[in-house]
Chain A
Amino acid sequence: GSNYSLDGNNEMHLGFIHRRLRTHEKREMQKEILSILGLPHRPKPNLSQGKYNSAPLFMLDLYNTISGEEKIPVEVKLSRYHSTTQSLPLATYQETAFLNDADMVMSFVNLVEYDRELSPQRRHHKEFKFNLSLIPDSEAITAAEFRLYKECVSRTIRNETFLLKVYQVVKEHPDREADLFLLDSRRLWAADEGWLEFDITATSNLWVMSPVHNLGLQVSLETSSGLSISSKEAGLVGRSGALEKQPFMVAFFKISNVHIRAPR
């Protein structure tokens, strides 16, 4: 802040000098606050994708839930982007429950996504990968979710349903399908619209403990008659979709030991 006691010694004195900080004072203040926040340096994110896409909006919703302050409700921000006014809040009751118990929440952007247009007899699938190696050590994942946005598919008949399956990639092979482990499956209506969340807590803990096993997730879809279709046909939003509907992953953490601030 600007009104920091600057008369040299450590004692705080009453007579604050209300003036702007000089450059070196500002740099000292920045170092001090970064050390209190437990950050080695100030992050320099690459925000070419814009500051408010799906993950930051979701996290801002969690932040507002925690701080309970009167902020602009996130839905208002979202409706600015959407023609439809879906009423789904981003953070569901379940996330709020995780939130109360967590010391830290982290969202991860999807690093890779292949829409393998394979020959008809092989199935379409979409791959997602998240880099969990950046988690500060001493953090334990208490819950993790994979979030996908589904738009209403108006082309097909309204009461068509799709079967969506989420797999963990266990082993990859160059010449054939990867070995997969089914994590979750869900029947969706073509007319459904909103966020889908899938619990990947166990998978995320495996990826943290053994990064070599982090081969990502696969999502596949088929119609009620068993025909494999692409996620785009089923209305799932991928990298080419709207920024605020991009798929992402979110993990809730409990700190196993308190961050002790190094004396400066």
Chain B
Amino acid sequence: STGGKRRQQNRNRSTQPQDGSRSSAPADYNSSDQKTPCRRHELFVSFRELGWQDWIIAPEGYAANYCEGECSFPLNAHMNATNHAIVQTLVHLMNPENVPKPCCAPTKLHAISVLYFDDNSNVILKKYQNMVVLACGCH
């Protein structure tokens, strides 16, 4: 946009009442009011609470995390909000009904190991990959 228009916009912006909801500019791809930021929730699966400590030797349980909410790009990130808004707008123009809503998904996964007896009292140590979410973010 040209500089004049931008000055106009700035003037508009400064007179507008500061309300929580954002204008529905095309780049604004979400109608939902509350924005749940991208977060990792922790659920602890306790083998003891499940009454399994007679056959599971270790661990006591494990953190089964999951991710929820929306991604927000930190402005100084490689994909900053402006680029993100432009990408969203372009996708919207090309294909209005499915504006991509950035998911919040596991981006770093970790294994756990479980040590347990089998039916014949043999002992098994098994690694389970991708059982614990260490970080969430955008794909």
Q: Which residues of chain A have a CB within 8 Å of any CB of chain B? A: 1-4, 12, 14, 21, 26, 29-30, 33, 36-38, 42-47, 49, 51, 55-56, 59-60, 62-63, 66-67, 71, 102-109, 131, 134
The closest CB in chain B to the CB of A2 belongs to B49
Produce 1/0 per residue, B48-62, CB < 8 A to A. 011010110111010
CB contacts (< 8 Å) of A3 on chain B: these are: 43-44
Q: Is the CB of B124 within 8 A of A105?
A: yes
Nearest-CB distance from A75 to chain B (Å)?
Answer: 17
Known A1-B49, A12-B68: A105·B118 in contact at CB below 8 Å: no
**Among A4, A29, A38, A51: residue with most chain B CB under 10 A:** A51
Range for the number of chain B residues in contact with chain A: 35 or more
Nearest-CB distance from A142 to chain B (Å)?
Answer: 13
Cα distance A47–B49 when bound, in Å?
A: 21
Q: Is the CB of A131 within 8 A of B52?
A: no
Residues of chain B in range 80-139 having any CB-CB distance to chain A below 8 Å: 113-128, 131
Cα distance A131–B121 when bound, in Å?
A: 11
Known A12-B66, A47-B54: A107·B114 in contact at CB below 8 Å: no
CB contacts (< 8 Å) of A2 on chain B: these are: 46, 49
Q: Which of A38, A49, A66 contacts B125 (CB 8 A)?
A: A66
Q: Is the CB of A4 within 8 A of B43?
A: yes
Q: Which of A33, A47, A66, A104 contacts B121 (CB 8 A)?
A: A47
Q: Is the CB of A62 within 8 A of B125?
A: yes
CB contacts (< 8 Å) of A56 on chain B: these are: 57, 117, 123
The 7 A-B pairs of least Cβ separation, nearest first, read: A45-B117, A105-B125, A45-B121, A59-B123, A63-B115, A107-B123, A1-B44
Known A2-B49, A104-B124: A43·B61 in contact at CB below 8 Å: no
Q: Is the CB of B118 within 8 A of A1?
A: no
Cα distance A71–B50 when bound, in Å?
A: 22
Cα distance A60–B50 when bound, in Å?
A: 21
Q: Is the CB of B59 within 8 A of A109?
A: no
